[in-house]
Amino acid sequence: MDLKLIYGNMRALCEAPQMMLHYADIPYEYKMVWDHYGSSWAEVKKDIIFNRLPILIINEDKYLWQSNTIIRYLSNLTKTKPSDEFQLAYCDAVFESTHEMFFPLNPTINMTFGEKYNSNKKKLLEDILPNSLNNFEKLLQNSSGNFFIGNDPFYCDFNAYHHFSMCLILDKNIFSNFPNLKKFINNFEKLNNIKNYLDGRPELVELGKSPHFLIDGKKIPTGLNPNKKY
């Protein structure tokens, strides 16, 4: 099976799918939208279904959009989907709850700078994240294993890890009072191929000032435009 993930230069909606594929040893290709289409996102956006990214292309001729749908589809391929009906519903509830963390967490880290970054960061750390993290801490406390549903990682765990790792970017001590979350992160990073993926992905630098990724020794601005100027 030929799989291509089309997105931009962001650590956001394609992190969980990529970790799932690495975990399951399933090859895929990740392409920036401008490389895949040969034009800027502004030029091709009007021709893309619902004008949104990411897109998963399967065997060159089948397209899926909506990041959550892509993850659910990949959960079958990667064997990260519970077989029990209740566990599947529970997994999806956890998954949807982790996705609620996306905004403004991911845009703040990937796209904002200056006062906007500072104000968003303050709001996240003081008003938004404490309650969310407290709820996830309680769920993990009630789990019978290392992850949200026992000792096997399911697709909800991959999305959870991504968002928890983004929290750590804002504050490396954010989990000081959440021992179950710290244990979850530690166990997740021991999964098959996960450390290799984390160590090999581009470094995100200059947060809050002019966020960039270091790719092949070059600083590429975050977002959907490789020529963006701050």
Look up the CATH number of domain 3-79+196-221.
3.40.30.10
Of the candidates 18, 11, 136, which has an alpha carbon nearest to the alpha carbon of residue 74?
Answer: 18
What is the residue-wise DSSP string for 25-36?
T---EEEEHHHH
For residues 69 and 65, give the distance between their C-alpha atoms in angstroms, rounded to a whole number.
7
Long-range contacts, 31-38 (Cβ 8 Å, 24+) = 31/4, 31/5, 31/6, 32/6, 32/7, 32/8, 32/226, 33/6, 33/7, 33/8, 33/224, 34/224, 34/225, 34/226, 36/4, 36/6
Instruction: Name the CATH code of domain 85-191 (choices 1.10.760.10, 3.40.50.300, 1.20.1050.10, 3.40.50.11740).
Output: 1.20.1050.10
Instruction: Calculate the CA 182 to chain-centre distance.
Output: 18
pLDDT value of position 216: 87
pLDDT value of position 230: 56
- Whether residue 198 is predicted with pLDDT greater than 90 in this model: the reply is yes
Tell me the pLDDT of the chain averaged across its residues. Answer: 96
Window from 29-33, 41-45, 108-112, 116-120 with minimum mean pLDDT: 41-45
| Residue range 178-192, pLDDT digits in tens | 999 999 999 999 999
For residues 209 and 195, give the distance between their C-alpha atoms in angstroms, rounded to a whole number.
28
- Whether residue 165 is predicted with pLDDT greater than 70 in this model: the reply is yes
CA triple 128-51-226, angle to 5 deg: 80
Domain ranges of the chain: 3-79+196-221, 85-191
Of the candidates 67, 95, 68, 69, which has an alpha carbon nearest to the alpha carbon of residue 8?
Answer: 67
